[in-house]
């Protein structure tokens, strides 16, 4: 049994990242599971040099120590390609040469309208690879948010597993890794809630049981935007680890007594694990956070 925190090295961790890391840590430890760290470094154009090492140092400064070797997705490209070949042999994927502009001009809801599904295009050249949608029920019960059901358009969208530029898509890599690392519960922010039906489809075609899902509320600023690297959220400072850790725990419904807030990050996390109650995490998708 294991849970994981899987940041992308597009910059240092910020407060929103800390919430996800702490939430995943608490839930893993409350389940007596390992807590793993995976670096999702399969999108080189978005990566910042040195960010992977910085993220690991930040986690250590906050007392968030992982239980096994860090996995780097960039070292698993051959495995992802093997899975794609397997899906090709089962006729579960097809090539698509559509541009974003073309898809945008045709789609009325931003979703891909499966227009290359029956064209039998070659997999060679600059084409994306799409996974054919299934016919199952891709609703699920989230352990925090409750019952989750999406529109039929989302359930029936063929989605990308390898991009036109040859890079492996997030959806494929994350599911393959979760299966092969023995991840039995996934904890992440609500910004990834609508990725879950696609990932359930991947579990289906890979003949694997899906994990338990826990989607944490997102911290948003006064403009209504989530705290993110794209929105220039500041990096968390290891010199303020105990203070910021207590703020993250308070955000997650687990405030620490004032007299204990000056303790070490490790002791604060130990206390939080001992007093953890899943039902105290707010069942909201967004919460205003004012620094």
Residue 257 has what DSSP assignment? P
What percent helix, strand, coil does the chain show, rounded to 5?
A: 40, 20, 45
| Ordered domains of the chain (ranges, CATH) | 2-75+181-288 (3.40.50.620), 77-172 (3.40.50.620)
Which tops the pLDDT comparison, 198 or 288?
Answer: 198
In this prediction, residue 229 carries a pLDDT of 63
Would the annotation count 207 as a binding residue?
Answer: no
| pLDDT above 80: residue 227 | no
Would the annotation count 5 as a binding residue?
Answer: yes
Q: Which residues pair with 14 in a beta bridge?
A: 235
Strands 128-131 and 34-39 come out as unpaired
Would the annotation count 6 as a binding residue?
Answer: yes
* Coil/strand/helix, residue 64: coil
pTM here?
Answer: 0.95
In the block, tokens 């910021």 appear at: 244
Would the annotation count 76 as a binding residue?
Answer: no
Residue 29 pLDDT level (bands cut at 50, 70, 90) = very high
Task: Return the closest-CA partner of residue 271 out of 97, 35, 105, 25.
Answer: 25
Report the pLDDT averaged over residues 222-232: 69
The dihedral sign for the CA sequence 93, 99, 103, 104? positive
* Coil/strand/helix, residue 102: helix
Would the annotation count 170 as a binding residue?
Answer: yes
Would the annotation count 8 as a binding residue?
Answer: yes
Would the annotation count 190 as a binding residue?
Answer: no
Dist CA 19 CA 25 (whole Å) = 10
In the block, tokens 């070949």 appear at: 85
Would the annotation count 277 as a binding residue?
Answer: no
Structure tokens of 169? Answer: 């898509």
In 10 A of CB 282, how many CB atoms?
A: 14
Residue 155 pLDDT level (bands cut at 50, 70, 90) = confident
Would the annotation count 162 as a binding residue?
Answer: no
* Coil/strand/helix, residue 123: coil
In this prediction, residue 232 carries a pLDDT of 64
Residue 289 pLDDT level (bands cut at 50, 70, 90) = confident
Q: What is the largest CA-CA distance in the chain?
A: 66
């Amino acid at each position: 049994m294991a849970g994981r925190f899987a940041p992308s090295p597009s910059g240092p961790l910020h407060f929103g990242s800390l919430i996800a890391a702490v939430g995943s840590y608490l839930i893993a430890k409350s389940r007596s599971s390992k807590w793993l760290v995976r670096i999702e470094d399969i999108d080189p154009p978005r990566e910042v040099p040195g960010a992977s090492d910085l993220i690991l140092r930040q986690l250590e400064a906050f007392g968030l120590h992982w239980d096994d070797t860090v996995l780097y997705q960039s070292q698993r490209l051959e495995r992802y390609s093997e899975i794609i070949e397997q899906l090709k042999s089962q006729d579960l994927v097809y090539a698509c040469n559509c541009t974003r502009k073309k898809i945008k001009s045709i789609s009325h809801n931003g979703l891909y309208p499966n227009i290359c599904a029956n064209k039998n295009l070659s997999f060679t050249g600059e084409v994306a690879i799409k996974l054919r949608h299934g016919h199952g029920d891709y609703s699920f019960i989230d352990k925090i948010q409750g019952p989750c059901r999406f529109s039929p358009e989302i359930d029936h969208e063929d989605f990308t597993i390898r991009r036109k530029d040859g890079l492996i898509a997030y959806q494929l890599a994350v599911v393959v890794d979760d299966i092969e690392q023995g991840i039995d519960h996934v904890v992440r922010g609500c910004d990834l809630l609508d990725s879950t039906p696609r990932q359930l489809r991947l579990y289906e075609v890979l003949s694997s049981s899906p994990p338990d899902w826990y989607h944490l509320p997102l911290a948003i600023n006064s403009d209504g935007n989530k705290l993110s690297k794209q929105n220039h959220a500041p990096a968390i400072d290891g010199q303020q680890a105990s203070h910021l850790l207590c703020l993250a725990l308070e955000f997650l419904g687990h405030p620490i007594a004032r007299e204990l807030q000056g303790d070490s990050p490790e002791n604060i996390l130990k206390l939080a694990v001992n007093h953890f109650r899943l039902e105290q995490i707010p069942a909201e998708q967004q919460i205003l956070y004012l620094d």
